[in-house]
Amino acid sequence: MEAPIEPSFAEAIAHGKKSEAYQAQQRRLLAMQKGFSVSLATVWLMASRSQALVDNSLSFRFIHDAFQTMAAVTFLASEGMYAPAKRELRYLLESASKHAIVDLNNWNFTLEERVAYLESSIPRSSVDFIADQAFFGLSPSEEADFKASVVSQFKRLSAYVHRSPAQLRQEIQQAGKGPPESKVIAGELERFNRECFAVYDLAVFLQFQVLGPGLSGDVFVHAFDPVQHWPFHRGKFCRLLSKFFDYKVERQEVRGDS
């Protein structure tokens, strides 16, 4: 009796992508993309009440770059290309951090002056500068946690900028095991989704910081409170920032606290 023919890698991956576990993670990835894009668009729309803010802010003037990165992340992850997807996440986190720091410390600067400040005063390939910045809406311990999260997340993602010997050995080992099982394929996307969500949460939080507490409170209470499926209700730092606005009368009236 002939031994059963082992499926090829391509066949195994195609089969794994049909599993319910993988499909659930794929839906989660798409939901994150929708939630992130709606968040960016809503914050930008609120910022557009001040034309000068939109025109001169790096965070808002170049928001299209975040949309493009998000689209690349979703495509790459959907195709199982997690290393380049993580490089895109690193780029997103670095850009969001640098643009926010420049904007928060140079309110009176023109766009050209902010670009010059970014070039002369913000170090390349690092987000350590985040340690010196104050952020509204967080307690001292929460703020320290946020800063540590930005730095640690950036360092983890930086491991995928260049191939390391450890990554090469891991890939060789995996190839020697033969085609992956369906649960392995679903597990890889699940792990990526967790990391992706953490980065998106940090990036959205930074957008709110540039928008400022007054307008951010209106966005949380009037735009996102009524939308129960907004993903960042569950985001670590967007959730904390949302709690900061519990004092708002409109929110208290809806909750019956007044």
Does this model's pTM top 0.95? My answer is: no
Other C-beta atoms closer than 10 Å to the C-beta of 229 total 8
Residue 16 lies in a domain: yes
**Do the beta carbons of residue 130 and residue 190 sit within 8 Å?**
no
Give the pair of three-digit tokens for residue 64.
């299209």
> What pLDDT, on the 0 to 100 scale, is given for residue 1?
46
C-alpha neighbours within 13 Å on the C-beta side of residue 251: 16
Domain count, the chain: 1
> What pLDDT, on the 0 to 100 scale, is given for residue 186?
87
Residue 59 lies in a domain: yes
**Cβ-based neighbours of 176, under 8 Å, separated by 6 or more:** none
State the Cα–Cα distance between residues 22 and 184, nearest whole angstrom: 9
State the Cα–Cα distance between residues 237 and 110, nearest whole angstrom: 29
pLDDT in tens, the chain (258 residues): 445 545 566 676 776 777 889 899 999 999 999 999 999 999 999 999 999 999 999 999 999 999 999 999 999 999 999 999 999 999 999 999 999 999 999 999 999 999 999 999 999 889 999 999 999 999 999 999 999 999 999 999 999 887 777 777 777 776 666 556 667 788 999 999 999 999 999 999 999 999 999 999 999 999 999 999 999 999 999 999 999 999 998 888 877 765
Residue 251 lies in a domain: no
Tell me which residue has tokens 């969001």: 96
Domain of residue 57 covers 9-231
**Cβ-based neighbours of 115, under 8 Å, separated by 6 or more:** 58
Q: In Å, how far are 101, 195, 228 from 257, measured between CA atoms?
A: 36, 36, 19
**Do the beta carbons of residue 189 and residue 32 sit within 8 Å?**
no
Residue 242 lies in a domain: no
Q: What are phi and psi of 133, to 5 degrees?
A: -95, 140
Residue 245 lies in a domain: no
Residue 44 lies in a domain: yes
Residue 58 lies in a domain: yes
Residue 238: burial class (beta carbons within 10 Å; 0-12, 13-18, 19+): buried
**Do the beta carbons of residue 233 and residue 242 sit within 8 Å?**
yes
Residue 1 lies in a domain: no
